[in-house]
Amino acid sequence: MTAPNLTPPQAPITQDVLTIPRKLPEGGKANLVGLTRDQLRDALIAAGTPERQAKMRVGQIWQWIYHWGVRDFAAMTNLAKEYRALLAEHFVIEVPEVVTRQVSADGTRKYLLRIAGGHEVEAVYIPEETRGTLCISSQVGCTLTCSFCHTGTQKLVRNLTAAEIVGQVMVARDDLGEWPVPGAPKDETRLVSNVVLMGMGEPLYNFDNVRDAMKVVMDGEGISLSRRRITLSTSGIVPEIAKTAEEIGCLLAISFHATTDEVRDRLVPVNKKWNIATLLDTLRDYPRLSNSERITFEYVMLKDVNDSDADAKRLVKLIAGIPAKINLIPFNEWPGAPYQRSDWDRIEAFADIVYKAGYASPIRTPRGEDIMAACGQLKSATERARKSRAEIAAEAGL
Ligand code: SAH
Ligand code: SF4
């Protein structure tokens, strides 16, 4: 158990930097998916594309991969045959392999995906009346140990590459049949209209790959999702927040979950490193830096832990002055979870206080519960490396 904290907070959390070498797929061919335009240009030149043609080739190949969803160089009909053969000799267009796909009674789809090294991650597609949200992962497991989160019980195995992050969006579009059909009338309805980085892992501990992947997803000549349709959720990695505004510019969600440091230390242990006051200070600058509107404060409703009227009142006081929306998440239970979901009338009473203080306070409807696809329930079934219960309790100061 942790001793009383008398010294300035030291980092109890370490960020295991597990950067794997960019692995070449079988046959030594490099994967073009996930490369930024500059990286793609360099790769094409290294493979023998004349420099003066490189920009045009990048544009053409980019469109084939990200607009048309083509995986085979032979189908890139506006490129000369010999050039297509050259590409096929050096490169592949590879996305994660779908191991299983589960479809919930409510239409939510959960994909278990296999990536290099035999690791597995999950992505979830949530269809709604006016939009379809794809929830993607940024790491296999997570270094952080939020005590209410199932992913937090799985040790971090590694960061996902940009290819594996973009690949999740491509896999979902494959499954939904969303790539445009040449010659067919243009269909403006997007099935994957929004992307949220709310799956497995802490996206801001894999900043560069997440940034590069989102740049690909946002690029107007490909998948073309606007930065306002992408939401990055973080447990509060303060030094990376301003960078997120400047280098990605997407919407931000913060896993807030508590209104005192004492409780947040237990729920989101990274709070011992960057406490509530430090986090809020940083957040005040986000809307201006990213030129976006509101920050979403995510708040998981845990029975008798963080759900009192006093909590609701403290919450609105704390965030005063920050353009915000408060997303109340009824706790999604998982086998062996040490918490319970707050009662429904408690959640509504909490929402009411927040709403009367002038904040939108939607209660997130749990989706895909029958297939364990809801927020915080993602954990690859086959990853054996588990944190022990004692480890979790110690890190959470329980
Ligand atoms: N690591 C990032 C993003 C992934 S978690 C983060 O923590 O923000 C996405 C959201 O689900 C976070 O707000 C997280 O706190 C919340 N969450 C985790 N476990 C949950 C559970 N069992 N029930 C409800 N929400 C949960
Ligand atoms: Fe990691 Fe987010 Fe889960 Fe915390 S809530 S353990 S940061 S995935």
The residues, any chain, with a CB within 8 Å of residue 333's CB and separated by 6 or more, are 339, 340, 341
**Rounded CA separation 54/88 (Å):** 17
pLDDT at 392: 45
Q: How far is CA 143 from CA 6, 162, 200, 220, in A?
A: 25, 19, 11, 34
Smallest CA separation from ligand 1 atom 3, residue: 198
**DSSP-derived secondary structure letter, 8:** S
CB 228 within 8 A of CB 263: no
Question: Domains in the chain, ordered, with CATH?
Answer: 30-92 (1.10.150.530), 97-396 (3.20.20.70)
> Measured from the CB, is residue 375 less than 6 Å from ligand 1?
yes
What's phi and psi for 251, nearest 5 deg? -75, 155
> Measured from the CB, is residue 178 less than 6 Å from ligand 1?
no
Pick from 140, 147, 255 the residue to mutate for probing ligand 2's pocket: most ligand atoms within 8 Å of its CB.
255
| H helix count then E strand count, the chain | 12, 13
Kindly give the confidence (pLDDT) of every residue in the chain, 398 residues in length, as a single tens digit, with 9 standing for 90 and above.
333 333 333 333 333 334 343 445 556 899 999 999 999 999 999 999 999 999 999 999 999 999 999 999 999 999 999 999 999 999 999 999 999 999 999 999 999 999 999 999 999 999 999 999 999 999 998 989 899 998 878 777 799 999 999 999 999 999 999 999 888 777 678 999 999 999 999 999 999 999 999 999 999 999 999 999 999 999 999 999 999 999 999 999 999 999 999 999 999 999 999 999 999 999 998 877 776 679 999 999 999 999 999 999 999 999 998 999 999 999 988 888 999 999 999 999 999 999 999 998 899 887 777 777 665 566 555 443 444 444 444 444 44
What's phi and psi for 267, nearest 5 deg? -80, -45
Helix (H) or strand (E) holding 265: helix 261-267
Ligand nearest to the CA of 334: 1
Measured over the CA atoms of residue 224, residue 228, residue 229 and residue 232, the dihedral's sign is positive
User: How is residue 144 written in tokens?
Assistant: 């952080």
> Measured from the CB, is residue 298 less than 6 Å from ligand 1?
yes
Q: Which atom of ligand 2 is nearest to the CA of 235?
A: 7
pLDDT at 67: 96
The residues, any chain, with a CB within 8 Å of residue 59's CB and separated by 6 or more, are 221
380: three-class secondary structure by DSSP: coil
Active site residues: 122, 375
pTM: 0.89
> Measured from the CB, is residue 380 less than 6 Å from ligand 1?
no
pLDDT at 27: 64
